Each structure stands twice: as structure tokens, then as C-alpha cells.
Amino acid sequence: MVDGTVCIVTGGGNGLGRAAAHELAGHGARVVVNDLGCEVDGSGSDASVPEDVASEIRDRAGTATAHHGDVSDFEYAERLIADTVEEYGRVDFVCNFAGVLRDGISYKLSEEDWRDVIETNLTGQFAPLRAAAKHWREASESQDGFDRQRSYLAVSAGAARGSLGQANYAAAKAGVLGTVRSVSNELVRSNVRVNALVPNGYTRMTETVPEEHRPYTESEMPPEKVAPLVAYLASEAAEDITGCTLYAGGDRVGVFSDPTMEAVGVCPDGWTLESLSEHFREDVAGDVELSRTESYL
């Protein structure tokens, strides 16, 4: 179902991205493995990281190329797409696992840590999406349509719902969901699917949490169990699935609902401070929980 397709996996040097690259290649896809080769906090750079994964794939008789660079750099993102087209003639699927963590309580979080995490985890999702979208629209128009749908998979996280000590990461991952909903509507006419993935798997990011507070072990939630859904979303079997936020972790896969209004109240003459004070909790909110301060870690 993905045999012969050309797939780019960003953040493919470790964890979930590495597992996805191997899964796609194992089903016959030609894979471009991107990674900056940085630490979890975004520091450093090592070109051997994506090359090691590409070599692993080739050692298993797969087809893979390494591409070292920072996907939050718009010029680099354009080059990643262009080089892939030059190498393989097309791009069928992009999945974006690139991300960093710099946790901190809001009142202690530095401006640098806020901006750097937003840059990598949100801009780093949009830059390759924009580059791929430009290529796909132009290719679709020049070819009078595609032989098969193209697909982009952005990676969000459960932290998008709010996570203690991760205001920067949560903001970026929530931004990914809004980006996906917007761009999926823009690209549907070009026969391009755009979805978001909320994965749950043990990675080096998990290891930043003290061991006694980790939500699961590597044996319970290996990254390899996320990868089949990635391959499915790259395949023709996922035709017309777009604008969705999907989940994969352990033995579970699922679909998240979009934000919906839980309660509504109408005041024919318009609401006032006094009428809201009198009626909001009981008559508008009703049974809806209004104190939502629990951690979603």
C-alpha cells in the first residue's frame, strides 16, 4: 500500500520518527530521513544521526537517503522538498516528528525557551508543510491531477490539552492542530490530505521525566506501535481522511473530536455583568465542569 512511494520523515533520527521511517521502508517506501541531530533541548547538531537510520534501512535492503537540517528554517524546508524530488522524482508523503523540549513553570520560563520551543515545534511543522503544499499544488496543476492523493502528517501531542510545566510545548502542539484544520481545507482541492497525529510512545523525551513519574515504560509503549498508523495514513487505504486528529499508542488507535461548544445560553436582550453573575453557572454551564486545573501529564 506504500510500496514505491516517496516519504519524508522529519525528526527521523530517533524515537517515533525513526520507528516510522523503518515501518515505511519495511513496506517498500523510499524514505528520506531528516534530522538535525540535536539533543532533546535543541542544542547541538550531528549529521550522523539521520545517516545512521538511513544506513540501517539500506542494510535491511530498503531505500533511504539522509538529509541533515533544521525544518524550522524555511529555506531548508524548501531544499528538503526540492532535493527529494530531484532524487526520487516525486514526494508522496511527509510526516513531521521534529521537536524539542525545554520545560519550565510559566513564571520561571525564559523568553528564549518560549521562543525556541515555539520555533521548532510549530514553525518547524509549518515550514515543511508550506514547502510541500507549494510543490504539490504546482505538480497537481502541471500534471492535470495526481495519480494518487498526497499526504502530510503533522505531529501534535497530548500536551496540546495543557501540561504542567510545558506552556511553550503545549502552545506549539495546540497550534499544530489549528494549522492542520486550516491547511486541510486549503489543499483538499489539490487532492492532498493533511492530518495531525497525537502519538504516545516511549522516547528520549519521556526520559526527561523523573522515572517515578513516567506514565509508562518502554516495553508498555514502544514507539514501534505508533508507526503502523503513520504508514496507514501514507497509504491509499487512507484516501479522503483529512483534517483529522488521530491517536496511536500501545495497542490503541483513535480519532479525537474537534473543539466543540459544550453549553450555550441565550439572552434576548444581550448579556450583562449582572445577568451573567446570576445565570452563568447554573443556567448556561449547567453540569459542565468549570474548574479544569488537573494536569494531563
Spell out the CATH class of 6-255.
alpha beta
Residues with Cβ within 8 Å of residue 131, at least 6 apart in sequence: 74, 77, 78, 80, 81
Q: How far apart (Å, rounded) are the C-alpha atoms in residues 147 and 134?
A: 18
Per-residue pLDDT reduced to its tens digit, 126-181: 999 999 999 999 988 887 778 889 999 999 877 667 777 789 989 999 999 999 99
Per-residue pLDDT reduced to its tens digit, 189-237: 999 999 999 999 876 666 666 666 667 667 677 899 999 999 999 999 9
Report yes or no: 201 and 15 within 8 Å, Cβ to Cβ.
yes
* Residue 258 predicted with pLDDT over 60: yes
Report yes or no: 67 and 34 within 8 Å, Cβ to Cβ.
yes
Residue 234 has what pLDDT? 98
The total of other beta-carbon atoms located within 10 Å of residue 284's CB is: 15
* Residue 41 predicted with pLDDT over 60: yes
Residue 220 has what pLDDT? 74
Q: CA torsion, points 215, 220, 222, 227, in degrees to nearest 10?
A: -100
Q: Which residue has the higher pLDDT, 242 or 146?
A: 242
Q: Which residue has the higher pLDDT, 161 or 97?
A: 97
Q: How far apart (Å, rounded) are the C-alpha atoms in residues 76 and 89?
A: 19
Per-residue pLDDT reduced to its tens digit, 6-37: 999 999 999 999 999 999 999 999 999 999 99
* Strand bridging mode 192-200 / 30-35: unpaired
Position 297 confidence tier, pLDDT thresholds 50, 70, 90: very low
* Residue 296 predicted with pLDDT over 60: no
**Cβ-count burial of 71 within 10 angstroms (0-12 exposed, 13-18 middle, 19+ buried)?**
buried
Residue 217 has what pLDDT? 65
Q: Per this entry, what is the length of the chain?
A: 297
Q: Which of 76, 88, 169, 202 is catalytic?
A: 169
Residue 15 has what pLDDT? 92
Report the predicted TM-score, pTM, of the whole model to 2 decimal places: 0.91
Mean pLDDT over all residues of the chain? Answer: 91
Report yes or no: 235 and 2 within 8 Å, Cβ to Cβ.
yes
**Cβ-count burial of 235 within 10 angstroms (0-12 exposed, 13-18 middle, 19+ buried)?**
buried
Q: How far apart (Å, rounded) are the C-alpha atoms in residues 184 and 175?
A: 14
Residue 40 has what pLDDT? 79
Domain ranges of the chain: 6-255, 261-297
Q: Is 8 helix (H, G, I), strand (E, B) or coil?
A: strand
Mark whether 216 is an active-site residue.
Answer: no
Amino acid at 169: Y
